[in-house]
Amino acid sequence: MLTKLLGGIVYDPMHGVKGKKRDIYIRDGRIVRKPGKNERIHKTIDVSNKVIMAGGIDIHTHIGGGKVNIARMMLPEDHQQDPVRTTAKTRAGSGYAAPSTLTTGYRYAEMGYTSCFEPAMLPVNARQAHMEMADTPIVDTGAYSLLGNDDFLLQLITKKKSQKLINDYVAWTMHASQAMAVKIVNPGGINAFKFNQRKLDLDDNNSFYNLSPRKILKVLARSLHELGVPHPLHVHGCNLGVPGNVHTTLDTIEAMAGLPIHLTHVQFHSYGTEGDRKFSSGAVHIAEALNKHKNISLDVGQIMFGQTVTASGDTMMQHSGSEHAHPNKWVCMDIECDAGCGVVPFRYRDKNFVNALQWCIGLEIFLLASDPWRIFLTTDHPNGAPFTMYPHLIRLLMDRSFRNDMLSTLNKSARAASVLDSIDREYSLYEIATMTRAAPARSLGLTDRGHLGINACADITVYNEHANKEIMFAQPEYVFKNGTLVVKNGKVINTPAGSTHTVKPDFDPGIEKHLKKYFDRYHTVKLGNFKISDDELLDYGRESLIVHPCVNN
């Protein structure tokens, strides 16, 4: 079956295509060359003057795994306000901040997104995370394994084991948990919290292992680099949410000495201590550092006003933030000598100085960063806001007068503390396509996604151009997943299963000798049962398992 998309205006940054009128041909789930004159085109869809981009890719969204499910269970009121009915094509469920898996898949697709990456999968909870993602229809999924607070790795580093052995362990974990990348959260700090430490700065020591976050970060960043995992170490740094943490973030960048890392939800790590309230924007410094250090990429973690829930592996910081829980209920968990989690509902208020400034800081970072290939659009769903706020966020970035109108309604002191109203920049459609498609695909090593070149996977979104970019991005006219039309006029019409993306670096299987001993001594599951096989993963109901190659560094 050959389908032609006729006359669309194409934005394909991977190929430098900036709003050119082009026809696109789809066959067997792939984008193909213009067919010969004698070839039959089975279906032509007229998309004249509509905007075409590859399907959106969310590089950081909490959609599956233990802490997300705790958030769902904890917040019936979140769902009661947003019930989702069964239709002829879709199943029932619920929104809003912690939506059901089924609803998550539909809403991403309806927004033109076709791939979502869960950034904080605890290896010991990986099976559940993958099972939840298997119940997230349409979109492709992948996950980053959480390391850096697990007792095994901390032991290896403390005992000064070789980088090679550590690399074997990291690679083994990626295989065992079917991961796409590796994330570190509050390096060593989640573990330190189990020993009652309440703060761990970059050069403080985890008291039990006598290890600093700096040391752990360097070892893990090097490991990912040496293994050739396309996405560099995904870093949720020390001191999340703490005023003054902009210095921690800048020190972290310096500490890497050129090693690639990705700084995630950096808005939460960009706070200064200036002003009467000892809370200020560090966005200028962060953007400067990003512009200068080409080894760094980041996603913003923009906040939006309203009720949401924060779900993080950072037990230490979530516990200290629990006093702000709204409504007043929260969960913290120490987890299985692997990591932890904290789930704290939160309402960001535009009249609140800190929240209003957080909103400004996120936007400042977006607008001051010069290279959209190294900054990705996220709200750290649901921590800053639910992912369904993306179209609103895109409008804020693309429409200065709208942005300034919104700004003018915020807390006055926060406005005074922000440079936002002096920034003229408006993102172009090309830049939006870069930061929501091409750049995340390149960062993750998805060579056939995020673009519209020949042989690319036919994950395609067709938008109606509209002066109001929020309307434009909220309701695409068509969305294709693997060449199948899944959304028409903003509504799901087909619900194929997505695929799971992984990266499986080589390792010396000798690591299992160390691990078996460790598991038998300390763990409560057997090594063999910890590992998720390919067959098992596919059994959950995925379309396919896609293994991306490593790169030579």
**Contact footprint for other proteins (CB under 8 A):** 64, 66, 68-70, 72-76, 78-80, 83-86, 91-94, 98-103, 122, 124-125, 127-128, 131-132, 135, 151, 193-196, 208, 319, 325, 328-338, 343, 521-526, 528-529, 536, 539
204, exposed or middle or buried, with CB in 10 Å at 0-12, 13-18, 19+?
Answer: middle
Q: Give dist(CA 305, CA 384) in Å, integer.
A: 9
Instruction: Kindly state the DSSP code that residue 51 receives in the 8-state scheme.
Output: E
User: The tokens of 473 are what?
Assistant: 């991005």
Residue 384 beta carbon to other proteins: minimum distance, rounded to whole angstroms: 21
> 3-class DSSP state for residue 463?
strand
> 3-class DSSP state for residue 323?
helix
Backbone conformation region of residue 318, classed left if phi is above 0, alpha if psi is from -120 to 50, else beta: alpha
Residue 392 beta carbon to other proteins: minimum distance, rounded to whole angstroms: 23
Residue 194 beta carbon to other proteins: minimum distance, rounded to whole angstroms: 6
Residue 481 beta carbon to other proteins: minimum distance, rounded to whole angstroms: 21
Q: Give dist(CA 465, CA 471) in Å, integer.
A: 9
Residue 161 beta carbon to other proteins: minimum distance, rounded to whole angstroms: 16
Residue 332 beta carbon to other proteins: minimum distance, rounded to whole angstroms: 5
CB-nearer residue toward other proteins: 107 or 231: 107
Dump the DSSP string for 349-398: -TTSHHHHHHHHHHHHHHHH---GGGEE---TTTTSS-GGGHHHHHHHHH
User: The tokens of 532 are what?
Assistant: 């998720």
Residue 133 beta carbon to other proteins: minimum distance, rounded to whole angstroms: 10
Element (H, E) at 192: helix 189-194
Q: Single out the residue of 143, 233, 137 nearest to residue 179, CA to CA.
A: 143
Residue 540 beta carbon to other proteins: minimum distance, rounded to whole angstroms: 8
CB-nearer residue toward other proteins: 100 or 358: 100
CB-nearer residue toward other proteins: 37 or 513: 513
User: Each residue of 362-380: b (16+ CB within 10 Å) or e?
Assistant: bbbbbbbbeebbbbbbbbb
> 3-class DSSP state for residue 14?
helix
- Distances in Å between the Cα of 219 and the Cα atoms of 78, 214, 215 are 40, 9, 6
CB-nearer residue toward other proteins: 95 or 505: 95
User: The tokens of 417 are what?
Assistant: 């503390």
- Distances in Å between the Cα of 416 and the Cα atoms of 267, 315, 352, 369, 408 are 18, 33, 13, 21, 11
Residue 539 beta carbon to other proteins: minimum distance, rounded to whole angstroms: 7
Residue 153 beta carbon to other proteins: minimum distance, rounded to whole angstroms: 12
Residue 184 beta carbon to other proteins: minimum distance, rounded to whole angstroms: 19
One-letter amino acid of 9: I
Q: Give dist(CA 53, CA 446) in Å, integer.
A: 16
- Distances in Å between the Cα of 283 and the Cα atoms of 38, 211, 345, 439, 517 are 57, 29, 25, 21, 47
Q: Are 55 and 479 in contact (CB under 8 A)?
A: yes
Residue 82 phi, psi dihedral angles, 5° rounding: -145, 60
59, exposed or middle or buried, with CB in 10 Å at 0-12, 13-18, 19+?
Answer: buried
Residue 391 beta carbon to other proteins: minimum distance, rounded to whole angstroms: 23
CB-nearer residue toward other proteins: 237 or 342: 342
